[in-house]
């Protein structure tokens, strides 16, 4: 504990002083870190140019094939450091540079960025940052999370969000100007690729979209980009990454996204987190590839959170940020010397980037405070679990809260239902109550039930998210299949009832169905049960596949088959007995919903035929749709819908209890095997 405490004091004083504005002297070129018990020692821009007359003179010869860059001489101490520490990994064999790029020097002076809040601009996200990048070098912006790395990168590239405001100046080759199209490339942290194309095809189409000229001229550009990012072995492979396509690994996909920008042959390349979600081997390969790219003359500026020692040795210059403050800018190895001079030498067996982040990150104070409370204690005992009733109540309330806040659950469906109902109601409005309107009303009710049921597939992403949350909680024994099922059931009822009431009222009065409060309430209840059954079907299919593509494809197929066998396109008794009548017409919930609504509308009514003859509503409807003459038949159809809803929930319980749990176990086994290999 004493050793932990002694180390923690150094890091805590470092982090608190580095992040506090009071610990810095208001000077343009010097920053300070305080060593406990000693005077403040300056950390200066060892390698930075003078801003009034920049000593980084970059000259590009005609033809753009070579670059002569004159920079300030490196100090003797830095040269000594460069000769004996942090050796860089050697370049892979056969990685010859095929084309020189005319890079550009980038200088930013007193750069500050503020983000606009609800009423005014908030505190500065980036505070008076200074630095530069030269052709043929890699300049990295490093710092802990939320330190302003990506914001500073976007500010230099001129790609800030409209809500952000930038102060300061950015110079390109000594001139204060904005970057033009084609002169630079910017790679976001996460980019969307087209998985159904090969790497070569994807880059070729990107070149066609970005570059002018003839098709044949762009093929050479694509091949250069493939070679520059070491994608030759993957050029003819599908990118994949979605649905049933496994595709390339994350490292190769990241290099493809960078190669997409290289088809423009940019002079400056900005990359936000090039090592994002990459393992150590893929990260090293990525940085060696970028180092090779920089050797062609391109100016590389990118952000990074942390890196291994081997990767750190590849950087040319580093800009350290903490809470928006630039704590250091200069050559990478000089940073080690500066921290050592300030009283924070990097341990021998520790990565420099980890050492820097620990020294400047205030979050380590909380970790150190936790370390003080480490002590031995009694053996751990199992705690009691909450009752199932409590869990159901908690899940119901949590689901209600989530559903009320996130539009993709039921609010978007409510809007879509209202739009669809208005469209159907206006198309079939003004039908009247004559005998000739019967067939048209049957069509309107069929379209209403079928299309609203089909439209509910928009809720698949939300249901899939709920199933994934259940799988995660069930793996930690926080929930169970029965608890999840009841929680989801109870929380969905208010929203389904709201949708059914609003849609039913609009449809009922636009179509002009029979007046009567009891008739209207049955219509609402019937449509609610239809949505209730359909919700169970959606949940069952989503639990089965746990994949948005296959879930939607399966549900669309099921709904189309149910619509065909619902008895409108061809009367139920006339359907082919194998398959279509038995069992499909009896499985389709559309059949019972439409039949109940038509019985509610036409049983007990009469229509005049001529001046002396009348026929019943059953007779008028008999040729358009098959219904029963019994006065209780509409309630029987409602009971069938309720039993179908219960049946789908039982199926969901079985799938959750066995299928989802099995998938979670297989995923754990796969992760264990992956970690051991």
pLDDT for residue 657 = 82
Sign, CA torsion 553/556/560/563? positive
User: At residue 558, does pLDDT exceed 90?
Assistant: yes
Element (DSSP H or E) covering residue 357: helix 352-360
CA distance 325 to 125: 9
**Stronger pLDDT, 124 or 167, i.e. the higher one:** 167
Average pLDDT over residues 6-22: 38
For 354, the token pair is 């980890």
Residue 196 — very low, low, confident or very high, per pLDDT cuts 50/70/90? confident
Judge whether 294 and 88 are in contact, CB under 8 Å: no
Boundaries of every domain in the chain: 101-183+267-360, 193-265, 390-670
Residue 618 — very low, low, confident or very high, per pLDDT cuts 50/70/90? confident
CATH classification number, 101-183+267-360, choose in 3.90.1150.10, 3.40.50.300, 3.40.50.261, 3.40.50.410:
3.40.50.300
pLDDT for residue 291 = 93
CA distance 650 to 534: 14
Other C-beta atoms closer than 10 Å to the C-beta of 125 total 19
Judge whether 649 and 533 are in contact, CB under 8 Å: no
Backbone phi, psi, residue 112, to 5°: -135, 145
User: At residue 80, does pLDDT exceed 60?
Assistant: no
Q: List Cβ neighbours of 577 (8 Å cut-off, separation of 6 or more).
A: none
CA distance 346 to 334: 12
Q: What percent of the chain has pLDDT over 70?
A: 77
Average pLDDT over residues 612-635: 86
Q: What percent of the chain has pLDDT over 90?
A: 38
CA distance 362 to 11: 9
Average pLDDT over residues 454-462: 91
User: At residue 58, does pLDDT exceed 60?
Assistant: no
Q: What is the dihedral of CA 563, 568, 571, 577, to 10 degrees?
A: 0
User: At residue 424, does pLDDT exceed 60?
Assistant: yes
3-state SS assignment for residue 614:
strand
In Å, what is the CA distance from 637 to each residue of 450, 632, 649? 16, 9, 19
CA distance 487 to 625: 38
Q: Which of 518, 555, 538 is nearest to 631 (CA)?
A: 518
pLDDT for residue 376 = 60
pLDDT for residue 81 = 31
CA distance 447 to 568: 10
**Stronger pLDDT, 56 or 464, i.e. the higher one:** 464
Taking each continuous run of H as one helix and of E as one strand, the counts in the chain are 23, 17
Residue 256 — very low, low, confident or very high, per pLDDT cuts 50/70/90? very high
DSSP string, 585-613: HHH-HHHHHHHHHHHHHHTT-EEEETTTE
Sign, CA torsion 565/568/571/572? positive
Backbone phi, psi, residue 49, to 5°: -80, 160
CA distance 65 to 437: 80
Give the pLDDT confidence of 138-157 residue by residue, as tens digits: 999 998 888 889 999 999 99
Q: Among 20-29, 177-186, 578-587, which is the least confidently predicted range?
A: 20-29
Q: List Cβ neighbours of 188 (8 Å cut-off, separation of 6 or more).
A: 257, 272
Backbone phi, psi, residue 68, to 5°: -115, 115
Other C-beta atoms closer than 10 Å to the C-beta of 8 total 17
Other C-beta atoms closer than 10 Å to the C-beta of 240 total 19
Average pLDDT over residues 567-579: 89
User: At residue 450, does pLDDT exceed 70?
Assistant: yes
Cα–chain-centroid distance for residue 579? Answer: 43
Judge whether 262 and 224 are in contact, CB under 8 Å: yes
Q: Among 221-230, 366-375, 427-436, which is the least confidently predicted range?
A: 366-375
Q: What is the overall mean pLDDT for the chain?
A: 78
Cis (ω within 30 of 0) for the bond into 556?
Answer: no
CA distance 293 to 68: 17
Q: List Cβ neighbours of 535 (8 Å cut-off, separation of 6 or more).
A: 456, 459, 492, 496
pLDDT for residue 410 = 83
DSSP string, 63-111: TS--EEEE-PPPPHHHHHHHHHSSPPPPPPTT-----------EEEEEE
**Residues linked to residue 233 through DSSP beta bridges, in sequence order:** none
Judge whether 305 and 273 are in contact, CB under 8 Å: yes
pLDDT for residue 660 = 63
User: At residue 584, does pLDDT exceed 60?
Assistant: yes
Residue 77 — very low, low, confident or very high, per pLDDT cuts 50/70/90? very low
Q: How many residues does the chain have?
A: 677
The residue written with tokens 């017409």 in the block is: 585
pLDDT for residue 378 = 58
In Å, what is the CA distance from 367 to each residue of 322, 353, 524? 18, 18, 58
Other C-beta atoms closer than 10 Å to the C-beta of 606 total 12
pLDDT for residue 123 = 67
User: At residue 627, does pLDDT exceed 50?
Assistant: yes
CA angle 302, 53, 330 (to 5 degrees): 35
Residue 294 — very low, low, confident or very high, per pLDDT cuts 50/70/90? very high
Terminal Cα distance for the chain, rounded: 36
Element (DSSP H or E) covering residue 499: helix 481-511
Cα–chain-centroid distance for residue 326? Answer: 30
Parallel, antiparallel, or unpaired: how do β-strands 184-187 and 268-271 relate?
Answer: parallel
For 408, the token pair is 């993709």
| 300 CB-side CA count, 13 A | 30
CA distance 500 to 452: 10
**Stronger pLDDT, 258 or 95, i.e. the higher one:** 258
CA distance 295 to 307: 21
Judge whether 63 and 364 are in contact, CB under 8 Å: no
DSSP string, 478-493: S--HHHHHHHHHHHHH
**Stronger pLDDT, 232 or 247, i.e. the higher one:** 232
């Amino acid at each position: 504990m004493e050793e932990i405490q002694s180390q923690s004091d150094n890091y805590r004083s470092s982090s608190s002083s580095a992040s506090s504005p009071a610990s810095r002297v208001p000077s343009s070129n010097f920053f300070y870190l305080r060593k406990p018990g000693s005077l403040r020692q300056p950390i200066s821009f060892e390698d930075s140019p003078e801003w009034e007359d920049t000593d980084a003179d970059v000259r590009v010869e005609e033809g753009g094939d070579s670059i002569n860059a004159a920079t300030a001489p490196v100090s003797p101490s830095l040269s000594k450091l460069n000769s004996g520490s942090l050796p860089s990994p050697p370049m892979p064999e056969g990685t010859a540079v095929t084309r020189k790029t005319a890079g550009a020097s980038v200088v930013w002076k007193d750069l500050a960025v503020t983000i606009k809040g609800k009423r005014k601009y908030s505190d500065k996200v980036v505070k008076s940052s200074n630095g530069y990048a030269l052709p043929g070098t890699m300049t990295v912006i490093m710092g802990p999370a939320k330190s302003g790395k990506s914001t500073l990168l976007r500010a230099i590239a001129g790609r800030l969000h409209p809500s952000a405001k930038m102060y300061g100046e950015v110079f390109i080759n000594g001139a204060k100007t904005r970057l033009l199209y084609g002169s630079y490339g910017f790679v976001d942290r996460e980019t969307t690729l087209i998985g159904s194309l090969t790497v070569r095809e994807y880059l070729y189409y990107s070149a066609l979209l970005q570059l002018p000229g003839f098709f044949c001229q762009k093929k050479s550009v694509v091949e250069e980009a493939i070679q520059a990012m070491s994608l030759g072995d993957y050029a003819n492979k599908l990118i994949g990454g979605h649905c049933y396509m496994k595709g390339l690994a994350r490292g190769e996909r990241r290099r493809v996204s960078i190669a997409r920008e290289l088809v423009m042959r940019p002079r400056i390349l900005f990359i936000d987190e090039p090592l994002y979600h990459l393992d150590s081997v893929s990260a090293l390969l990525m940085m060696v590839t970028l180092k090779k790219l920089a050797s062609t003359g391109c100016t590389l500026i990118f952000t990074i959170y942390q890196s291994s020692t081997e990767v750190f040795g590849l950087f040319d210059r580093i800009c350290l940020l903490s809470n928006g403050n630039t704590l250091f800018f200069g050559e990478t190895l000089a940073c080690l010397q500066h921290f050592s001079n300030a009283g924070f030498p990097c341990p021998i067996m520790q990565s420099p980037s980890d050492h820097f982040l620990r020294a400047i990150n205030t979050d380590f104070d909380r970790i150190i405070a936790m370390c003080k409370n480490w002590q031995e204690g009694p053996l751990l005992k199992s705690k009691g679990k909450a009752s199932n009733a409590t869990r159901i109540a908690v899940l119901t309330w949590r689901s209600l809260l989530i559903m009320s806040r996130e539009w993709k659950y039921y609010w978007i469906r409510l809007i879509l239902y209202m739009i669809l109902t208005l469209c159907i109601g206006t198309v079939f409005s003004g039908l009247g109550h004559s005998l000739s309107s019967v067939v048209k009303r049957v069509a309107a009710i069929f379209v209403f039930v079928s299309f609203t049921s089909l439209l509910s597939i928009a809720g698949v992403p939300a249901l899939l998210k709920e199933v994934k949350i259940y799988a995660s909680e069930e793996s930690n024994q926080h929930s169970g299949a029965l608890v999840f099922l009841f929680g989801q059931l109870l929380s969905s009822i208010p929203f389904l009832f709201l949708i059914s009431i609003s849609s039913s009222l609009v449809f009922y009065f636009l179509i002009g169905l029979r007046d009567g409060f009891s008739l209207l309430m049955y219509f609402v209840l019937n449509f609610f049960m239809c949505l209730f059954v359909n919700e169970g079907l959606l949940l069952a299919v989503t639990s089965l596949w746990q994949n948005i593509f296959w879930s939607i494809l399966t549900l669309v197929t099921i709904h189309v088959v149910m619509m065909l066998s619902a008895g409108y396109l061809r009367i139920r008794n006339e359907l082919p007995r194998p398959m279509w009548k038995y069992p499909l017409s009896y499985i389709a919930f559309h059949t019972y919903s439409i039949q109940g609504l038509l019985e509610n509308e036409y049983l007990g009514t009469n229509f005049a035929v001529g001046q002396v003859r009348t026929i019943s509503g059953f007779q008028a409807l008999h040729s358009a749709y098959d219904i029963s003459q019994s006065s209780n038949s509409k309630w029987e159809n409602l009971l069938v819908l309720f039993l179908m809803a219960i049946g789908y929930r039982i199926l969901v319980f079985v799938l959750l209890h066995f299928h989802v749990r099995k998938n979670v176990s297989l995923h754990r086994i796969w992760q264990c095997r992956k970690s051991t290999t």
